[in-house]
Amino acid sequence: MKYSAQVTQVQVAVPDGKYDRKVADSLVGVFERDYERLFGAGSGYAAAGVMITSISVTARASLSDNTLLVTGGATIDGGEPPVMSERDVIWYERGLTRVTTPIYDGLSLRPGMTFQGPAIVELPSTTVVVRPGQSANTDALGNIEIALEENKA
């Protein structure tokens, strides 16, 4: 949480359950108390209002009671994915020379596909970098597994 006109955020523990106006008011009180504890009495700016800037949820489950299932008839197709585009990248561990690097569309990867680094995989919410000397493959669940370069020492 943070004051609307300030940038400093304070992490506030919240209770389990449903949230209503009473719980929200209680959270503001906890935030204001913690803010003053951290930054000194009178340091808050309540007139600006309070914002919840992010919410983090933690869950726990026993893995021994769960099984990951491959759905959609995923089969191991193998092969190399099609290159979506290329980009010149400086891989500092290889010097200052630009290396033309393939860009893969992560959503087009299928189980069993393999490719060598250097490579970049673009996904809607992240980018996966496969450095020079590494290789990558996709497993039956769609995970990208990266084999790290062996130590040449």
Q: Which residue has the higher pLDDT, 38 or 70?
A: 38
The answer, yes or no, to whether the previous bond of 118 is cis (omega within 30 of 0) is: yes
Look at residue 153 and tell me whether its pLDDT is greater than 80: no
Beta-strand relationship, 114-116 and 98-105: unpaired
- φ, ψ for residue 33, nearest 5 deg: -65, -45
> What ranges do the domains of the chain cover?
2-57, 85-147
Mean pLDDT to the nearest integer, 94-121:
93
With cut-offs at 50, 70 and 90, classify the pLDDT of residue 89: very high
Residue in 1, 4, 2 with CA at minimum distance from that of residue 49: 4
Amino acid at 138: T
